[in-house]
């Protein structure tokens, strides 16, 4: 609460606005001492219990060359869960296409590989960018597989290759991989 008070100082009367203590409010101590308030704010905002893995890699000079193939190494221990797998894309509004074709190569713990061609839609039919845009930069998290399961515990590697019809794909700033828990696998 803000209270208006008259204060006399050196023969002058001043009107001063003072912040009155929050003693009557629950959790008032959080506002009077910044350390617990900051800790609580960080604790509450950083809870992402479903995230198993997330990493992003910057694209050199914001031009994705055919030869640049970012890879993400993930250790999966729990094979009883289902997972949602996403590709994170950060691009500028000057990106020349409404989509992005990628070849995702997955290497399993036993050494076997699997390739999947994926089209990532970055803009709607009207040309409006999907995802969250701030200024000229857009971030989008796109699902590439829902309710996936990993049947082998161990290290998995995901490698991205752009397969657009150009050697140098401009205005792609970074790419990432996110894996979240989706639930428990139902045994049949």
pLDDT digits (tens, 9 = 90+) for 124-179: 999 999 999 999 999 999 999 999 999 999 999 999 999 999 999 999 999 999 99
As a whole number, the mean pLDDT across the chain is: 84
What's the token pair of residue 22? Answer: 């929050």
In this structure, the answer to whether residues 55 and 113 fall within a common structural domain is: yes
By the 10 Å C-beta count (0-12 exposed, 13-18 middle, 19+ buried), 13 is classed as exposed
Q: Are 33 and 16 in contact (CB under 8 A)?
A: no
Those residues with Cβ within 8 angstroms of residue 14's Cβ, 6 or more apart along the chain or in another chain: 6, 7, 8
In this structure, the answer to whether residues 62 and 31 fall within a common structural domain is: no
What's the token pair of residue 37? Answer: 């308030």
Three-state secondary structure of 46-105: CCCCCEEEEEEEECHHHEEECCCCCEEEEEECCCCEEEEEEEEEEEECCCCCCEEEEEEE
Q: How far apart are CA 125 and CA 66, in angstroms?
A: 27
Say if residue 22's pLDDT is above 90.
no
Domain count along the chain? 2
| CA within 13 Å, CB half, 50 | 12
Q: Are 75 and 150 in contact (CB under 8 A)?
A: no
Q: What pLDDT sits at residue 166?
A: 93
What's the token pair of residue 152? Answer: 């082998």
In this structure, the answer to whether residues 64 and 152 fall within a common structural domain is: yes
In this structure, the answer to whether residues 36 and 58 fall within a common structural domain is: no
Predicted TM-score of the model (pTM): 0.73
In this structure, the answer to whether residues 101 and 150 fall within a common structural domain is: yes
Q: What pLDDT sits at residue 7?
A: 55
47-102 tens-digit pLDDT:
678 899 999 999 999 999 999 999 999 999 999 999 999 999 999 999 999 999 99
In this structure, the answer to whether residues 19 and 96 fall within a common structural domain is: no
In this structure, the answer to whether residues 77 and 114 fall within a common structural domain is: yes
In this structure, the answer to whether residues 12 and 92 fall within a common structural domain is: no
In this structure, the answer to whether residues 57 and 108 fall within a common structural domain is: yes
In this structure, the answer to whether residues 113 and 135 fall within a common structural domain is: yes
In this structure, the answer to whether residues 32 and 55 fall within a common structural domain is: no
At 40 the three-state DSSP class reads helix
In this structure, the answer to whether residues 126 and 164 fall within a common structural domain is: yes
| CA within 13 Å, CB half, 89 | 27
Q: What pLDDT sits at residue 9?
A: 55
Under DSSP, the state recorded for 128 is P
Structural domain containing residue 121: 51-184
Q: The CATH number of the domain where 133 resides is what?
A: 2.60.120
């Amino acid at each position: 609460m803000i209270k208006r008070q008259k204060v006399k100082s050196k023969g002058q009367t001043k009107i001063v606005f003072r912040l009155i203590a929050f003693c009557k409010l629950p959790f008032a101590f959080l506002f009077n001492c910044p350390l617990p308030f900051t800790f609580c704010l960080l604790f509450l905002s950083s809870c992402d219990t479903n995230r198993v893995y997330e990493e992003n890699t910057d694209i050199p000079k914001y031009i994705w060359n055919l030869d640049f193939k970012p890879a993400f190494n993930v250790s999966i221990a729990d094979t009883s869960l289902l997972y949602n797998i996403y590709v994170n894309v950060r691009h500028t509004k000057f990106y020349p296409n409404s989509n992005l074709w990628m070849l995702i190569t997955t290497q399993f713990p036993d050494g076997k590989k699997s390739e999947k061609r994926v089209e990532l839609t970055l803009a709607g039919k009207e040309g409006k960018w999907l995802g969250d845009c701030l200024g000229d930069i857009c971030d989008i998290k796109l699902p590439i597989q829902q309710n996936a399961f990993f049947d082998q515990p161990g290290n998995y590697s995901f490698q991205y290759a752009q397969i657009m019809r150009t050697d140098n794909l401009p205005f792609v700033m970074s790419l990432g991989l996110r894996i979240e828990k989706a639930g428990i696998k139902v045994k049949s």
